[in-house]
Amino acid sequence: MRKNIVAGNWKMNKTAKEAEELITALKPLVAKSKPEVVVCVPYTDLWTVAEAIKGSKIHLGAENVAWADKGAFTGEISAEMLKEIGVEYVIIGHSERRQYFGETNETVNKRTKQALANGLKPIVCVGETLEEREKGRTNRVLKKQILEGFEGITDFTNIVVAYEPVWAIGTGKTATAEDANKTIGYIRRTIKTNFGEEVAKALRIQYGGSMKPGNAKELMAERNIDGGLIGGAALKAEDFAAIVNYKD
Ligand code: 13P
C-alpha cells in the first residue's frame, strides 16, 4: 500500500512573514490528515517554516537542490545547507525550471543523485508540453525523462515522482482523472520495465496541474494516482487543506 502524499509547491510566492501566517492557518486544518503533507517553499522561507511547522505533521521541502557539494556555484543551494534547516523533500526538474532555467534530464539526474546521497527525498517532476501532447509524443517524452532522469539510480525508496502535464500548470485546465491515471499508468509501466516490478509497485506518483478542492477527490480516487503536487491552491490554507482532506 502506497501512502498518499500531498505537497504544496509555493513557487516564487510568500515572503517569510506571509509564510508564517500561512503555516499558522494551515496547521490546525491538517492536524488529522491521512495523507503525508509536505510544503515546498522558497529558500528564504525555509528557516521560518521549519520553526512554524514544529509540533505538526507537516513535512518541509525545498524547490530545488544543487548537484555539487559546495563551491563556486553562484545562486545555488547545497543539500547540506538544506539539511541543516531540517529540509526533508526537494522538488527536482519542475517544468518551470526546465522551461526557464535550462534544467535538462541530465541535470535532473545529477540533482536527484545528490539529493539521495545526502538523505533528501526528491520529488522528481516529469510531463509533456501541449505541443508534444498534440503531436502524440507524450509517452515518448515521458520515457526519455524517466530513463535519463533516473539513469544509474537503483534505490527508489525515497523518490516521489510528480506527473505534471505542462499545459495543465497554472492554466485552470486539468487532465481528466481518467487521462491522468492512464498516463501515470504508463509512467509506472516504464519504471517497471526499466527498474523492476517492486520499485514500480512501491513508487508514489503524484498528479500536478490545476489540482483544486473541486477536483482533488476525483483525481485521487484513481488507482495510479498517489497524491498531488499543488501550485496555486497551496497558497491558501483552506484550499490546500481541502485537497489534503479530500476524503473527509
Ligand atoms: P498549479 O496547481 O498552479 O497548476 O501548479 C501545479 C504545479 O506546477 C505544482 O508543481
The pocket around ligand 1, CB under 6 angstroms, is made up of 9, 94, 164, 169-170, 208-211, 229-233
Provide the 8-state DSSP code for 185: H
Q: How far, in Å, from the CA of 71 to the mean position of ligand 1?
A: 32
Q: Look at residue 172 in the predicted model and tell me its pLDDT.
A: 83
Helix, strand, coil % in the chain, rounded to nearest 5: 45, 15, 40
Q: Look at residue 248 in the predicted model and tell me its pLDDT.
A: 77
CA of residue 128 relative to chain centroid, distance: 16
| Best residue for ligand 1 mutational test, from 90, 210, 243 (most atoms within 8 Å of Cβ) | 210
| Backbone Cα Rg of the chain | 17
Q: How far, in Å, from the CA of 64 to the mean position of ligand 1?
A: 15
Provide the 8-state DSSP code for 30: T
Mean pLDDT of the chain: 97
| Best residue for ligand 1 mutational test, from 11, 95, 97 (most atoms within 8 Å of Cβ) | 11
Q: What is the pLDDT of residues 188-225, one digit of tens each?
A: 999 999 999 999 999 999 999 999 999 999 999 999 99
59 belongs to the catalytic site: no
Q: What is the pLDDT of residues 85-99, one digit of tens each?
A: 999 999 999 999 999
The percentage of residues in the chain with a pLDDT greater than 90, rounded to a whole number, is 96
Question: Among the atoms of ligand 1, which is closest to the Cα of residue 212?
Answer: 2
Q: Look at residue 170 in the predicted model and tell me its pLDDT.
A: 86
Q: Which of 156, 125, 119, 148 is nearest to 2 (CA)?
A: 156
Q: Look at residue 214 in the predicted model and tell me its pLDDT.
A: 96
Q: Which of 59, 94, 103, 222 is catalytic?
A: 94
The pLDDT averaged over each successive group of 10 residues in the chain (248 residues) is: 96 98 98 97 98 97 98 98 98 98 98 98 97 95 98 98 94 89 98 98 97 96 97 98 93
Q: Look at residue 175 in the predicted model and tell me its pLDDT.
A: 84
In whole angstroms, how far apart are CA 53 and each of 13, 29, 136, 161, 221? 18, 13, 43, 24, 28
- What's the residue count for the chain? 248
Global confidence as pTM: 0.97
CA of residue 51 relative to chain centroid, distance: 22
CA of residue 46 relative to chain centroid, distance: 17
Distance CA 207, CA 229 (A): 6
Q: Look at residue 80 in the predicted model and tell me its pLDDT.
A: 98
